[in-house]
Amino acid sequence: MKYAMFTLFALGLTITVNAEEKPLLAIPGKIIFESKLDAVPDDPWKAAKGKWELIEGVWRGSEKPEDKHGAVTRLPNKLPDFIIEYEFKFEGGKGTSLSINAPKGHMARISISINSVTILRDDYDKDGPARAAIFGRFPAQFAKGTWHKVRMEMIGNTVLGQVDDLVAWGSDDFLKKERVAPGLTVAGQSVDFRNFTIREATLNPDWEKVKATLPAPGEKK
């Protein structure tokens, strides 16, 4: 993330502020949901699998071997066009994701392992004929104990995923269906989370220009 530095010589102070981020697919609107994830996991989150606890002021998700499934916690929200942002760090876990569901089945996700990032439309009908559509997959190295930022934007039939400076997007008519139950997942033990926000969003009027600067869907694998 870029920062701008301003020095107030008269007061002898140095202040650091976030430089304004340029819009990608979406322009952020009003906040739908916001939490620092600094309290014991509770309503409105619903933990379906795994162990979710407060550790050193942030959420920690851990897979339970007996579940034979990754840890999962979800919000009950139905989503309009949106932007979701949060931060994560690996604390021994091997993978995590931000997952968006349709009323029946998975819809889209940002999937993160310790050495890769994948942005995709999920396989939503299990036995076919649809298969997951990978819009982008990048090599990456996520060191234990280091915070990283995740952002997902969804407008109409288009999704954009971003992890730090890695960005991919793609379009599919399935993404226009009802969107529900945004969730966090963890594979292994453990992954920490903080500063989770969902905002309403509208299409960036300069999206076509922005899109021309990004990899085409499926180009990065």
CATH topology of domain 21-211: Jelly Rolls (2.60.120)
pLDDT in tens, the chain (221 residues): 333 333 332 333 333 334 357 999 999 999 999 999 999 999 999 999 999 999 999 999 999 999 999 999 999 999 999 999 999 999 999 999 999 999 988 999 999 999 999 999 998 777 666 789 999 999 999 999 999 999 999 999 999 999 999 999 999 999 999 999 999 999 999 999 999 999 999 999 999 999 999 999 999 88
Map the chain to HEC letters: CCEEEEEECCCCEEEEEECCCCCCCEEEEEEEEEECCCCCCCCCCEEEECEEEEECCEEEEECCHHHCCCEEEECCCEECCEEEEEEEEECCEEEEEEEEECCCCEEEEEEEECCEEEEEECCCCCCCCCCCEEEEEEECCCCCCCCEEEEEEEECCEEEEEECCEEEEEECHHHHCCEEEEEEEEEEEEEEEEEEEEEEEEECCCHHHHHCCCCCCCCCC
